[in-house]
Amino acid sequence: MAATSYKCPSCGASIEYVVTSRMMHCAFCLSQFTPAQVEAAHNPPTANTTPPATAPRQRGRSLSTGEEHRPQQTPQTPSPVEEVDPLKEVEWTEPPEEDLVWTLREGKALSARDKEALSSWECNSCGAHVISDRTLLSTRCGYCNSTLVQSSSSMDAPMPELIIPFSIDRDAMVKAFLESTKGRFLLPRRFKDEALIRQAQGTYVPFWMVEGVITGTFLFSASDTWKERELTKTVTTTDEYVVTRKAHSGFKFLPVCADSASVQRRIPVTPAFTPDAFVPFQGAYLAGYITPNVSVSAEKAKLSAKVEADSEFSSRVRNSVRHQVVSLRRKTTHLTHPTITYTMIPLWFLNIEYRGSTYEYLINGYNGEVTGHYPVSVLQKRSIIGACSAAATVAALWLGDIVTQVVLNMFGV
C-alpha cells in the first residue's frame, strides 16, 4: 500500500497532524489548517467547481459579554483584516440615576430621658470627645488612658440607629485576656496582673455601616504561551484573547470607622460582628461605658466605602480570568442602592506600659476576641537562652566522651 504524503497548502512543505490542537501544523511557515482543508487541497475537486481557498494562519477576534474567545481558522478566501476597537463593541451601560442615590441613616435625636441621663466628656491629653452617662464622676480615656473630665451637661448630638450591646462584662474581659496569654512563656509577668487588666475601658466605637450592590463592566487583554517540540526545533506559540466581564455583587455591613482617633490607631473590626448582633439603639446601653463622638462625616465615609468595595470587587473579577497573563484595559463600576447607617460597636481598650512602650489591646465586647501584639521579657529570654546553651554544652561533652572511647577501642587501647 502506497503511503500518502500531505503538503502544506501555503508553502508546499510537509505538514503533520498535532494531537493537542487537532490541527495540521506546518513546521516551515507555521501555518495551521484543519484536516478537511488539507484533504481538500490534496484532492482538488473536479472541473467547474470553485477550488477551496487556502490562507496562512490568522487569529480571529470576537466579543461577547462575559466570554473569552480563542482564534479560529476560517476556510474562506482571506480578506484584508479590519481593525476593530473592542472598546467600542462593549456596552458600557450605566444604571439609572435613582439607583445611585444614597439612603442616609445618620442617627436619631435623643429623647428627653436620654438627654437627662447622658453628658459630654473630654480628654485633657489627646482631646478625644466622648459621651457617657452623667452618673460617672470621672473615667479614663480608652485611647491614652488619661482621666476624662465632664465638659458639658447638655447633649444634642444624634444617637445611632443600631448598636451591638456589650455581652462581655469586665470579669469576662479579664478572663478572655488571660486566656490569650496562655502558652506565651516569654511574656512579662506584669501582663498577667489582673488588677492592671481591670483598668481596661469599655467603649462604644461609632461606625458607619454601608450596604449596597456593586456592578461593573470589565475589558481585559489576556494571553497564553506554550512551547512545542517539532522535529529539530522548538516552536513557541502565543494565543491572545480579549475578555469581557459583566458582574454584580451585593454586600452588607461594610464598616467605616466614624471616629478619627480610632482611624489613626487603625482599630480593626473583627468579622465576628454579624448582622443579627445589631439591635435598635437605646440610651440605656451606654450606662457605664464611654462613646466617642462622630468625627468622620457620612460623606467621607461614602468615599471610603466605595473605594474599598470597588477594590475587593475588581480583584474578584480579575481572578475569574484564568490565563497566564492578564491586563486590565478598561473598567466601569457603580455602587447601586447604597445605604449608610450610623452604628456603635462594643470594644474594651487595654493599655499596658512596658519598658517605655505602650502596648494596646482590643477585646471584642461581643465575643471576647483579643487583638494586639505581645512583648517578650528580656530576662526570661536570657534565662531560656542560657538554659539551652548549658544543655547544649552538656550534650556536646557527653557525646565527645563517647566518640573518644569509640576511637580508643578501635586501636585496642
Among candidate residues 291, 246, 197, 255, the one with its CA nearest the CA of residue 91: 246
Q: How many Å apart are CA 66 and CA 349, to the nearest integer?
A: 48
Helix (H) or strand (E) holding 140: strand 139-140
Q: How many Å apart are CA 55 and CA 41, to the nearest integer?
A: 11
Range scoring the smallest mean pLDDT among 20-29, 44-53, 236-245: 44-53
Whether pLDDT at 3 is above 60: no
Q: DSSP per residue over 342-364, as a string? A: EEEEEEEEEEEEETTEEEEEEEE
Range scoring the smallest mean pLDDT among 30-39, 158-167, 369-378: 30-39
- Give the β-pairing of 118-123 and 129-133: antiparallel
Contact 243, 249 (CB under 8 A): no
Contact 59, 23 (CB under 8 A): no
Q: How many Å apart are CA 242 and CA 329, to the nearest integer?
A: 10
How high does pLDDT run on average in the chain?
A: 75
Q: How many residues does the chain have?
A: 413
Among candidate residues 155, 160, 162, 163, the one with its CA nearest the CA of residue 107: 160
pLDDT score at 411: 46
Whether pLDDT at 174 is above 80: yes
Residue 67 burial (CB count, 10 A): 12
Among candidate residues 156, 151, 196, the one with its CA nearest the CA of residue 177: 196
Q: How many Å apart are CA 405 and CA 394, to the nearest integer?
A: 17
Looking at per-residue confidence, does 231 or 406 come out higher? Answer: 231
Measure CA of the first residue to CA of the last residue in the chain; give whole Å: 86
Whether pLDDT at 285 is above 60: yes
pLDDT score at 24: 76
Contact 224, 233 (CB under 8 A): no
Q: How confident is the model at residue 321 (pLDDT cuts 50, 70, 90)?
A: very high
Looking at per-residue confidence, does 223 or 111 come out higher? Answer: 223
Buried b (16+ CB within 10 A) or exposed e, 305-344: bbeebbeebbeebeeebebeebeeeebebbbbebebbbbb
Main-chain phi, psi angles of 243, to 5 degrees: -120, 130
Among candidate residues 244, 246, 239, 225, the one with its CA nearest the CA of residue 328: 244
pLDDT score at 332: 93
Among candidate residues 38, 44, 29, 51, the one with its CA nearest the CA of residue 9: 38
pTM: 0.65
Range scoring the smallest mean pLDDT among 16-20, 96-100, 123-127: 16-20
Residue 361 burial (CB count, 10 A): 19
Looking at per-residue confidence, does 129 or 62 come out higher? Answer: 129
- Partnered with residue 310 across adjacent β-strands are none
Strand ranges for 171-298 from DSSP E: 201-230, 233-257, 279-280, 290-292
pLDDT score at 393: 64
Q: How many Å apart are CA 298 and CA 265, to the nearest integer?
A: 20
Helix (H) or strand (E) holding 335: strand 325-354
Looking at per-residue confidence, does 370 or 260 come out higher? Answer: 370
pLDDT score at 67: 46
pLDDT score at 225: 92
Mean pLDDT for the stretch of residues 59-73: 39
Whether pLDDT at 63 is above 50: no
Whether pLDDT at 42 is above 70: no
- Partnered with residue 246 across adjacent β-strands are 217
Write out pLDDT tens, residues 344-354: 999 998 888 88
